[in-house]
Structure 1
Amino acid sequence: MGPEATVTFVGNATTLLRLGAFTLLTDPAFGAAGSRVYLGWGAWTRRLRGPALPYPEMPRPDVMLLSHLHGDHFDRVARKAVPADLPIVTTPQARRRLRRRFPAARGLPTWDAQEWSRDGQTLRITALPGRHGPGPVDRLLPDVMGSLVEWAVDGQPMLRLYVTGDTLYRPFLGEIRDRCGDIDAMLIHLGGTRLLGLLLTMDGRQGADLTGLIRPRLTLPIHVDDYRVMKSPLSDYLTECRNRSIPGVRPLTRGETVTLAPITTG
């Protein structure tokens, strides 16, 4: 049996990816239910559902993938728990804010990549475009990136995973498929987050728009119902996908581990 690729859903946008020889942690938030996180510009939100696992019970990651620097994606509990020397791949803006506490953070401009090799295996992370807010409001929010996570064994591609980050749906995201080719799996950030009536993350309709645009073989919805600012339940997205006959959508439960199927090669 060859090396495997799995994802464990911890909560919100926090997942643990085991890709053969590599372990990745995404958007760590480990605050308990009832805790508050700061979203900037005087805005706070309260966590409704706690994480499935605390950080000390998880294997030490090789890399942390941070889509953007918001309190619900890298909270105070996570900042205290994550080792200062852990490599972090994030936006250039977030890297500037993290570099004193986390000197191994690396900021990737859109379409730039970082690569690691170990035991004949390769991990490559490419920064993808994203937009957190509508119109000019986006300039008031942290820069956000999607990520293409590629894993290969002995030069053979095994998995191509798209992590959307907190982007809204925009047609320019079609460039991801144009540049990157077929996507095996997608971790899609949903929730329909709203502040002052403004939509800041994809709701069910926008999520279905992006899923239909990217056409991954497997889509795993996350970032749905952890915080009060999330207004679009998972059922909105599942209904939209069902009405459009979009295949490959699979809901996750907290603490669940799912095998990510490798791409077909020939």
Structure 2
Amino acid sequence: MTTAKYTVQLDPSKPKAPTRDDADFPESIPEAKDTKTHPSKAGDENASIYFIGTATTVIEWEGIRILTDPNFLHAGDHVHLGPGVQGTRRTNPAIDLHELPHVDLILLSHYHADHFDQKVEQSLRRDLPIITTPHAKECLTEKKSEEERFTQVYDLDHFESAILDIKQKKKNEEDHFDSAVLNDKDKTTASEEGAGNNGKKEEKNSTPSIQITGMPGKHVPPGPLSIANDILSAVPPTNGWMLEFGHTSSSPQSSTFSSGYRIYISGDTLLVPELSTITEKYRDQNIDLMLLHLGGTTIPSPSVPLLMVTMDAKQGVKLMQLIKPDVTIPIHYDDYDVFLSPLEDFRKEVEKEGLGGKVVYLDRAEEYRFRVGGVGEGVSEN
């Protein structure tokens, strides 16, 4: 059985508005301004990433939409980033919050206003599933009044995993299930529950699944500043993520997840030693795509840049060299005045290191399409 802290069951046949005002919502994301694919191996794409701005993207596969780090503030809006620290947005998002189609899950790297802004927090429906850090879960549940509490928040620490089981409509099937969570310590997955047939052994059933694993990340460099931040809680703890798109094969005796495509999302981290543990864990497994948070975010202000808390261009390229993804897409750049390392610096550093063929650049409202391998296509098992 795949080891996971949670199994979250998602049913794309029952779309809901992402906001709690239950407003009408479109069936799909607006058409992308441009579509990009793998620089040398394009063809038969069956999944996509749509870039909204900052670290906000929509990832789609098998009818499921994952919204990352939702930030829908507009140019001129302000965000609170810590005691005495404020940022001003310079750009507009590609679409507004109420222009989103149905969303099945939010993936939140950390509880910071430039990743989960006040408008988003007020507007989202409270039963929308959210996978995030233990700290963010506490902020979204325990620290809120009962009526404002988010009710489906699943916390993952570093190297803890959750499985998203995607409901597939069977022939003549009439009944569906809503989003729900099972604790793997106590319960079997839905596919395992239906695997038995009067005690007889059946062939394994394969269902589309996404495994999400928390990855290390640090917003504050090691040393005295990190110790002080632990005490003051000025900058929240953060996660990166590994998203593995594939299939779960289940029988009454076992459950095995096979990955057909991996996306590493760096999250708001600096280039810290802990990131080397990612290469150790995935030593013999290909990382197909990296979504790289850049910006060189500095605090307390652009005019007094005392501390950098996200990677700049040089650190971003070094992370590419460490992780060695097949393709890298930079995000989290040029959107706020506290981002002092522009995308152009990253472009120059990439070319300097001879990595231009490994990077795809997306502007806001553009998409990247990719292919998730199916069962029997040489996918790797976990």
> Which range, TM-score by smaller chain?
over 0.9
Determine which of 239, 243, 247 is the counterpart of 2:348. Answer: 239
Is 1:106 the counterpart of 2:154 in the alignment? Answer: yes
- Matched with 2:295 is 191
Q: Decide whether aligned partners of structure 1 residues 112 and 154 sit closer, same or farther in structure 2, where only a CA change above 3 A counts.
A: closer
Three-state SS of the structure 2 residue aligned to 1:144 is coil
Determine which of 314, 334, 350 is the counterpart of 1:225. Answer: 334
- Matched with 2:164 is 116
5+ long unaligned stretches in structure 1:
none
- Matched with 1:251 is 361
- Matched with 1:28 is 70
- Matched with 2:315 is 206
- Matched with 1:75 is 117
C-alpha contact 1:22 1:123 (8 A) present in aligned 2: no
CA RMSD of aligned residues (A): 1.8
Give 1:157 deviation, angstroms: 2.5
Give 1:234 deviation, angstroms: 0.5
Give 1:42 deviation, angstroms: 2.1
- Matched with 1:55 is 97
Q: Deviations over 1:148-171 (max 9, x none)?
A: 011114655221101111000123
- Matched with 1:134 is 221
Q: Deviations over 1:45-90 (max 9, x none)?
A: 1100010011222222111000001110000111123211111111
C-alpha contact 1:9 1:16 (8 A) present in aligned 2: yes
Give 1:3 deviation, angstroms: 7.5
- For 2:351 and 2:125, locate their aligned partners in 1 and report how far apart those are by CA, in whole Å: 42
- Matched with 2:267 is 165
For normalisation by structure 2, the TM-score amounts to: 0.67
Give 1:172 deviation, angstroms: 2.7
Does 248-257 or 177-186 show the bigger shift?
177-186
C-alpha contact 1:189 1:224 (8 A) present in aligned 2: yes
C-alpha contact 1:115 1:122 (8 A) present in aligned 2: yes
- Matched with 2:59 is 17
Q: What is the one-letter code of the residue matched to 2:298?
A: R
Does 205-214 or 253-262 show the bigger shift?
253-262
Q: Decide whether aligned partners of structure 1 residues 61 and 145 sit closer, same or farther in structure 2, where only a CA change above 3 A counts.
A: same
C-alpha contact 1:185 1:260 (8 A) present in aligned 2: no
C-alpha contact 1:128 1:146 (8 A) present in aligned 2: yes
Determine which of 237, 241, 251 is the counterpart of 1:147. Answer: 241
Moved over 3 A (4+): 153-156, 261-264
Give 1:5 deviation, angstroms: 1.3
- For 1:229 and 1:117, locate their aligned partners in 2 and report how far apart those are by CA, in whole Å: 38
Q: Deviations over 1:126-168 (max 9, x none)?
A: 0000000112434341000000011114655221101111000
- For 1:114 and 1:105, locate their aligned partners in 2 and report how far apart those are by CA, in whole Å: 12
Q: Which has the larger radius of gyration?
A: 2
C-alpha contact 1:205 1:237 (8 A) present in aligned 2: yes
- For 2:341 and 2:44, locate their aligned partners in 1 and report how far apart those are by CA, in whole Å: 39
Three-state SS of the structure 1 residue aligned to 2:362 is coil
Three-state SS of the structure 1 residue aligned to 2:214 is strand
Q: Deviations over 1:201-244 (max 9, x none)?
A: 00000000001110111110000011010000111111111111
Give aligned pairs, total. 266
- For 2:286 and 2:124, locate their aligned partners in 1 and report how far apart those are by CA, in whole Å: 33
Q: Decide whether aligned partners of structure 1 residues 22 and 177 sit closer, same or farther in structure 2, where only a CA change above 3 A counts.
A: farther
Three-state SS of the structure 1 residue aligned to 2:112 is coil
C-alpha contact 1:161 1:183 (8 A) present in aligned 2: yes
5+ long unaligned stretches in structure 2:
1-42, 169-206, 250-257, 301-305
- For 1:78 and 1:3, locate their aligned partners in 2 and report how far apart those are by CA, in whole Å: 31
